Structure 1
Amino acid sequence: MKLKKLFLTAGLTVAASTPLIGQKAPEPCGLTPSPRQIEWYNREIIAFFHFGINTFEDFVNEGDGKAPTAIFDPTALDCGQWMQTLKSAGIPAAILTAKHADGFCLWPSKYTDYCVKNATWKEGKGDVVREFVDACEEYGIKAGIYLGPHDRHEHLHPDYNTEKYKHYYAAQLEELMSDYGKIWETWWDGAGADELTTPLYTHWYKIVREKQPDCVIFGTKNSYPFADIRWMGNEAGQAGDPCWATTDSIAIRDEAAYYQALNEGIYDGNAYVPAETDVSIRPSWFYHPEEDSRVKTVKELWDIYCSSVGHNSVLLLNLPPDRRGLLHSKDSLHIAQLNQGIRETFSKNLLTGSRVSATNNRGGKFDVKHLIDNNKQTYYAGRDGRAKSDITFTLPRATTFDCLMAEEVIELGHRTSRWSVEYSTNGKEWTSIPEATGKQCIGYKWIVRFTPVTAKYVRLRIEAGRACPAIHSFGVYKQAEILK
């Protein structure tokens, strides 16, 4: 029986012309992110500050734990300058290497003398971690802590063993998680930490969860079962294509398969652990004046943004402070220009104002028009049981573009597993964009760049998936000149 009048359903008055299905959201499909992971995704870019005793040695990136504490002496440390740089670059979060593999601690830990309380800086009265978190709070930046599990200085002790180190590290983790306010991320580097087994991380994990329930844990190797986010397998800034947020919680023994799983994820994996893409703006992780001429260009940073944030990942970009305790002006300029280029590129979706139709449209609150309404609170969805959809955009006029972006509703899980984009001048004869053909993952954000094309019609083809599509937005854009 067809209804010809208004009717009441689930306490909501709905017009008869609006199908009931158009008011009901799709059910989540497969694994979905936690609130911590959703918040982390929304950061998009995080700054990494590699700063410590290595900064004051000559071209050292992996200290041996033997450097004297007295050499740590920044002459003009200003964490506020770091945060001002991040604000100008649109970066909302930062992580400080509170203890790197050399074991030197940037706070006056009660559990070691190998820390700032025995440094020349401020006659041993300083606390870099305190200055960092205070500056983060002042400028509205989310603070994170890298507390390196591997500690070469502790290895130098003749009575070192992993059981003692378990409690030593736990005590320092307690200090950082208890005494410095809100911590949004803790970074458990896997480098050199092969001897640290799951029972140790189980002990440390409980401390993080008790003290900082909203803190995401970056983990790899033996800490993997406790990780909210994973390493993506290289330090070149290149997340995989695809780059699924899902992977396997059980370590993959074959090395090649292990690195592929880190980089690409596993579509039908049994754990939701998305990838964080770490890379330095310079060739090294710590500052060296010899590299002032080798800071990555704006174009190189744009390439990295597109292959990290634009590959369903979050970019962790290292900005190493110098021996003064300041960021170099070239580093600061380049990330500010990157931010300018990103804003200029994505400020206007060239599909805005188009007429939109879909072969699979849920309608109502989930109508296909929401793909171009520039509202993150709305989205397009197809009908239940139908994974495919051809979505056609008819532009007001022929338009030239060289970039596209799609954003899936990650709260509903990975749904689409194959998609392509085509264009046409007449709506009848279609040409594929090679770089956007046979794509797999969408996730939080997927960006594709290509040789400029001019078209009046654009078609997004959802070709396969495990459930009906659910996509926040789709757009085509012209890349800003500053990025080229």
Structure 2
Amino acid sequence: MKSRLLLLFTACLMLLHVKGQAQSEVPIPTQAQLDWQNAELVAVFHYDLHVFDGKPYNQAKNRITPIPDYNIFNPSNLDTDQWVKAAYDAGFKIAILTATHETGFALYQSDVNPYSLKAVKWREGKGDIVRDFVNSCRKYGIQPGIYIGIRWNSFFGVHDFKVLGDNEFSANRQAYYNKMCEGMVEELTSRYGELSIIWFDGGAHGPEVGGPDVLSIFEKNQPNGIFYHNTQRADIRWGGSESGTVPYPSWGTYPFPYSHATNGEVVFKNDFQLLKEGDPNGKYYMPAMSDAPLRGFNGGHEWFWEPDHEKYIYPLERLMDMYTKSVGHNTSLILGLTPDAEGLMPEADVRRLKEWGNEIKRRFDNPLAETSRTGNKLIIKLKEKAKINQIVLQEDIRQGERVRAFVLEGKTSTGWKQIFEGTVIGHKFIHTFDDLELSAVRLSIKESKGKPNLKSFQIFNTNK
């Protein structure tokens, strides 16, 4: 009897071990990464001194040319509620503000950076746009995030992380700048409550390569947030272009713990293929982001406001295509929004964002039918034939990306017809196609790591 019990106990342990192996075959996202992908739409508001200088934005020049007079900063009607309401109306769930960008000017009350809102005449040197912005986000139920630019600082003469020179003077300046950056990160991560993301523009050199130690400060003050990025860690990765799209497939897993801060000979080859596509066998969960400015149409690509440039606002259909090829390709879409010199989001931009949010709801809020369950085959049967032109799939990525190959088919009057054959589903897969009159739609999982678990399988007629 004892030997039988021992054998049974041993068999149970082996079964649990095998089950544990199957469940750990794929990387598992953190809660912050789940929140990031569930947000789907992320706004980033770019604001800096050159919004007020009356000159076209020139990134290369701005990185090396100090602004002559920082008191040009004077947004007389600043209203961060209006900014965030515009993002809310489009359906954004996370919003990020550039607390510092390439001029080095800080949009808050810094005790360590004299080149900040303390220095200007606006609001008698007492303004704090970061605080206004975070409060507005919380008012509208949007998760706030902060973008910190330390790679370039034209005021302090820092370029690509470095103070130029190879002498005692430059070494002292570098040490001072690193300390100031650490102080700013301490201020920005400790004063404004919980933040969804800290985004370092162009990365953040760590002390191992002569830069400031920002990761430890982030981990101390914002343990539940997204860190993006340095040579040690990235919780998300750049999607390889600023088109607001990624190709299919785009896996949420990656072979390195950093995104593209190092190992460029691998990461950057073939037009950033690894960043765009990820790696289905990657050891690290690191979903891609797709980023683009709202004013990126018709030859424009404007992360900062310019007067009378409404012609560059993406038309609605292009935004919907962008949505399908970003959110629908397993990434979150980051859209750049541009408050003007008055301190407001331009009305044309606000209207387009509202139209976009309404169109997303129209196309995705009312499926003809839906189902969800575990297993290798799911079928949606319709009571009567209907025209179908869109399918949306979602995995339960709390258990990682398990699906490796799948086929979608529709049942026509002459039998089953293949609609799509794919690999990754991940957080969300959207496929649009010409109208098909169908009585059923079938999803067949051909390959998976562990048991596949579909969170949602929806079919639509978007012309209704």
TM-score interval, smaller chain:
0.7 to 0.9
Q: Look up the match of 2:383.
A: 396
- The answer on whether the counterparts of 1:145 and 1:183 sit within 8 Å (CA) in structure 2 is yes
Are residues 189 and 163 of structure 1, via their aligned partners in 2, closer, same or farther at CA, if it must alter by over 3 Å? Answer: same
Separation (CA, whole Å) in 1 of partners of 2:217 and 2:111: 18
Show the 5 A alignment for 1:172-321: 172-190=184-202, 198=208, 203-219=213-229, 223-249=230-256, 251=263, 253-254=265-266, 255-256=268-269, 259-282=272-295, 283-321=301-339
Separation (CA, whole Å) in 1 of partners of 2:88 and 2:270: 39
Separation (CA, whole Å) in 2 of partners of 1:450 and 1:201: 49
> For each residue in 1:164-196, what CA deviation from the matched residue of structure 2 results, as whole angstroms up to 9, or x when unmatched?
3322211100011111222211101227x7x76
Aligned pair 1:408/2:401, yes or no? no
Q: Look up the match of 1:121.
A: 122
Identity %, equivalent residues: 31
Separation (CA, whole Å) in 1 of partners of 2:417 and 2:227: 44
- One-letter amino acid matched to 2:57: V
- The answer on whether the counterparts of 1:71 and 1:120 sit within 8 Å (CA) in structure 2 is no
> For each residue in 1:414-455, what CA deviation from the matched residue of structure 2 results, as whole angstroms up to 9, or x when unmatched?
1111112121224x622222xx22x11100111111111111
Please give the TM-score of this superposition, normalised by the length of structure 1: 0.81
DSSP-derived class of the 2:369 partner: coil
> For each residue in 1:279-316, what CA deviation from the matched residue of structure 2 results, as whole angstroms up to 9, or x when unmatched?
11012100012321220111111111111111111111
- The answer on whether the counterparts of 1:29 and 1:412 sit within 8 Å (CA) in structure 2 is no
Separation (CA, whole Å) in 2 of partners of 1:146 and 1:240: 26
DSSP-derived class of the 1:203 partner: coil
Q: Look up the match of 2:442.
A: 459
Show the 5 A alignment for 1:344-359: 344-352=362-370
Are residues 276 and 160 of structure 1, via their aligned partners in 2, closer, same or farther at CA, if it must alter by over 3 Å? Answer: farther
Separation (CA, whole Å) in 1 of partners of 2:403 and 2:58: 42
**How far did residue 457 of structure 1 move?**
2.0
Q: Look up the match of 1:66.
A: 66
Separation (CA, whole Å) in 2 of partners of 1:297 and 1:160: 48
DSSP-derived class of the 2:213 partner: helix
Q: Look up the match of 2:343.
A: 325
- The answer on whether the counterparts of 1:94 and 1:144 sit within 8 Å (CA) in structure 2 is yes
Q: Look up the match of 1:8.
A: none
Are residues 453 and 208 of structure 1, via their aligned partners in 2, closer, same or farther at CA, if it must alter by over 3 Å? Answer: same
- The answer on whether the counterparts of 2:207 and 2:213 sit within 8 Å (CA) in structure 1 is no
**How far did residue 136 of structure 1 move?**
1.7
Separation (CA, whole Å) in 2 of partners of 1:224 and 1:272: 16
Q: Look up the match of 1:443.
A: 426
Q: Which structure 1 residue ranges, 5 or more long, are not aligned?
A: 1-23, 353-371, 373-378, 383-388
Separation (CA, whole Å) in 1 of partners of 2:80 and 2:227: 24
Separation (CA, whole Å) in 2 of partners of 1:405 and 1:198: 44
Q: Look up the match of 1:89.
A: 90
Q: Look up the match of 1:417.
A: 404
- One-letter amino acid matched to 2:66: K
RMSD: 2.3
Of stretches 78-87 and 196-205 in structure 1, the one that deviates more from structure 2 is 196-205
Are residues 408 and 115 of structure 1, via their aligned partners in 2, closer, same or farther at CA, if it must alter by over 3 Å? Answer: same
User: How many residues were matched structurally?
Assistant: 417
DSSP-derived class of the 1:380 partner: coil
Are residues 197 and 266 of structure 1, via their aligned partners in 2, closer, same or farther at CA, if it must alter by over 3 Å? Answer: farther
Q: Look up the match of 2:178.
A: 166
**How far did residue 129 of structure 1 move?**
1.0
Aligned pair 1:475/2:461, yes or no? no
- One-letter amino acid matched to 1:235: E
**How far did residue 99 of structure 1 move?**
0.4
Separation (CA, whole Å) in 1 of partners of 2:314 and 2:366: 27
DSSP-derived class of the 1:325 partner: coil
- The answer on whether the counterparts of 2:101 and 2:201 sit within 8 Å (CA) in structure 1 is no
**How far did residue 154 of structure 1 move?**
2.1
